[in-house]
Amino acid sequence: MPDRPLSPTPSSPMLLTRRGVLGLGLGAVAAAVLASCTPAPQWVTPTGAAVSGTEKNRGGTGRVTTVDLTAAPTTLDLAGTSAATWAFGGIPAPVIRLTAGDTLKATVRNQLDADTPCTGTDSPSATTWMGSLR
């Protein structure tokens, strides 16, 4: 049998050379130069001219649907088991039907406490508004 160690020998640690330092410095300078060549971002604000013009051209049907929603804790009966939850009047919530071009005017009241039986922690509540599928 040859006279070799049973485990591989560790490689020598990588040392930083002058060439390596110069390469890192050139890379940093190149990144800074390229970053300064990018134009400043053009932000669109909700009250800006681009949004106002688009909304004006959008048109619509002229129909306005008005709803009142109240978020409040409620209890569900799940086959004999009570479950504490949140709802907007009904379970799961009232259905609001609109067509493209209609306007929704919603009044939302929040009657949820910061500490509710659903979470047991001090956490604010939020509502997610989603579009509909056709």
55-90, pLDDT tens digit by residue? 788 778 889 999 998 888 888 888 999 888 888 877
Residue 48 Ramachandran class (φ > 0 left, ψ -120 to 50 alpha, else beta)? beta
The mean pLDDT of the chain is: 78
The continuous run of DSSP H or E covering 57 comes out as helix 49-58
Q: What is the pTM of this model?
A: 0.46
Alpha carbon 55 to its chain centroid, in Å, reads 24
User: Residue 74's closest CA among 112, 110, 120?
Assistant: 112
The helix/strand count (H/E) of the chain reads as 2, 3
Contact 88, 69 (CB under 8 A): yes
